[in-house]
Amino acid sequence: MKISIVGAGYVGLIQGVGLAELGHEITLIDIDQDKVDLINKKVPPIHEQGLAEALKKVELKASTSYDSISKADVVFVCVGTPSREDGSINLDYVYSCAHSISENLDKYAVVCVKSTVLPGTTEKFGEILSESGRVFGLAHNPEFLREGTALNDFRNPDRVVVGQSDEKSGDIVARIYESFNCEKLRTSIRASEMIKYVANSFLATKISFANEVANMCENFGVDANEVWEGVALDNRINPKFLRHGAGFGGSCFPKDVKALIHASKSGGYDPLILNSVIETNELQPKRLIKLLKTLMPDVKGKKIGVLGLSFKPGTTDVREAVSLKVIDELLGEGAEVIAYDPSAMKEAKKLLGDKILFAQTLQEALERSDACLVVTEWEEIVEHDFSGFDKPLIDGRGVKKPNQSYRRIGKPF
Ligand code: UDX
Ligand code: UDX
């Protein structure tokens, strides 16, 4: 099929490469000329496992022009949907590209929103398209990709969800994924939009619940790891997304949960559980500092190592990373920060500039600091043998070989 994808960010690019691997003819459209040039030179603008090799192998075009839409069978909308200051979702990019798409629709095509949008948004998007008088199909098809393993997640999905305005639109979108051997669900457009929010909110809830349990365990004198081992053996509860620690970050969980809360409140229902999920998550990085103070009561003037800057391992992305909150707290207390990350130093430097120091290696961070905090579960960090490190080590992710002067979230001391 001929497919145009508007927005060549994380989701658009993975979708484009993945669909090109399935044999579809793909054009990526993006307003960012630099990104377009990189993609055409087969250089991935983002760090994602396997993406450089895959991009080299597939045929795929990128452009700043919307021309390809006139020939497309399906147009995917993958522009970003960032958070506003108040937590609400900013849909400006989604609606503005609706105008550009409708101006270029020449024949029947299905326009399928893939960006994470609140129930009702795709229908409103369809109303903008309708103003042009063009004939088109409308659908919503959420993505469930995790950064770091996005291409693999695209190739091996748990399920494909297609929200459709009518049977024909749904059939066309579903046909794109027909070679996938997984459950394929056809729903209303609003249900499809909501499925994405509920999936992310539930996963975020699991993490905040695990963190709450860990915090209680510390007080009860119980090791949370032992507790979860016993709890997660119940096959109704499984161990996934119950790793306690410093909290969740990234471009999706915080943004999506806040957007759902904000929209629900505006509609007259203030969700109790989801508010607590966010509140627990905001307090969690502070627990690392609290644990540090049990070993180093005054951090003022001390050099504190922050190990791990990206929001999770396997990515250079520092959006909403726990490391940023931890660094803010430390600087607020008058500490000096020396940070290390195996991949995300460049991204972090753009945000933090000269507010902190950066170590080139893990060893350098350990040597130059008076205490260290483990913030991201990079293998290099959690597998490191800290037994020879004789300063305070505060663990927010679960290091395998700790030292004598050690505190971990969820472990009594
Ligand atoms: C996506 C989804 O769209 C978002 O809703 C979901 O919650 C997470 O994944 P993502 O791919 O991570 O967003 O966003 P980003 O990497 O910022 O990429 C968006 C792209 O759209 C950028 O390359 C940007 O240049 C492009 N864009 C934005 C346009 O081409 N046109 C616009 O009008 C706005
Ligand atoms: C998430 C969803 O998993 C994905 O399906 C959706 O499409 C986008 O949002 P992503 O944000 O890339 O993916 O990363 P994920 O692996 O889900 O981790 C998010 C955050 O939660 C990270 O900061 C991670 O460290 C934290 N986390 C995850 C925990 O603290 N404990 C866990 O058990 C799992």
Q: Can you give the pLDDT at residue 410? A: 97
Catalytic annotation on 112? no
Tokens of residue 385, six digits: 């043998």
From the CB of 161, is ligand 2 less than 6 Å away?
Answer: no
Find out whether 31 and 64 touch, Cβ atoms under 8 Å.
yes
Q: For position 83, what pLDDT does the model report?
A: 86
Q: Say if strands 137-140 and 159-164 run parallel, antiparallel, or are unpaired.
A: antiparallel
User: 350-362 burial, b if ≥16 CB within 10 A, otherwise e?
Assistant: eebeeebbbbeeb
In this prediction, residues 158-175 reach a mean pLDDT of 98
Q: Kindly report the protein residue whose alpha carbon is nearest to atom 20 of ligand 2.
A: 248
| Mean local confidence (pLDDT), 106-135 | 96
Each domain of the chain, given as residue ranges in start order, spans 2-187, 203-408
Q: Which residues contact 269 (CB under 8 A, 6 or more apart)?
A: none
Q: What is the pLDDT of residues 262-299, one digit of tens each?
A: 999 999 999 999 999 999 999 999 999 999 999 999 99
Tell me the CA–centroid distance for residue 166 and ligand 1, in Å. 26
| Distances 131 to 6, 50, 116, 134 between C-alpha atoms, Å | 20, 41, 23, 8
* pLDDT for the residue 180: 96
Residue 87 has pLDDT above 90, yes or no: no
Name the residue among 150, 159, 218, 156 with its Cα closest to residue 183: 159
- The correct CATH number of 203-408 out of 3.40.50.1360, 3.30.2130.10, 3.40.50.300, 3.40.50.720 is 3.40.50.720
Tell me what the mean pLDDT of segment 134-159 comes to: 96
pLDDT, tens digit (0-9, with 9 covering 90-100), for 61-72: 999 999 999 999
pLDDT digits (tens, 9 = 90+) for 36-75: 999 999 999 988 899 999 999 999 999 999 999 999 999 9
Contact predicate 94/115, CB 8 Å = yes
Q: Which helix (H) or strand (E) holds 340?
A: strand 336-340
2-187 matches 203-408 in fold: yes
Q: Kindly state if the Cβ of 309 falls inside 6 Å of ligand 2.
A: no
Ligand in nearest proximity to the CA of 81: 1
Q: What average pLDDT does the chain have?
A: 96
Cβ pair 12, 78 in contact under 8 A: yes
CATH topology of domain 2-187: Rossmann fold (3.40.50)
Residue 197 in contact with ligand 2 by CB distance below 6 A? no
Show the ligand 1 pocket: residues with CB < 6 angstroms.
7-12, 30-32, 35, 78-81, 93, 96-97, 115-116, 251-252
C-alpha 314 to ligand 2 mean position (Å): 12
DSSP 218-283: HHHT--HHHHHHHHHTSTTT-STT---SS---SSSHHHHHHHHHHHHHHTT---HHHHHHHHHHHH
- The pLDDT assigned to 47 comes to 84
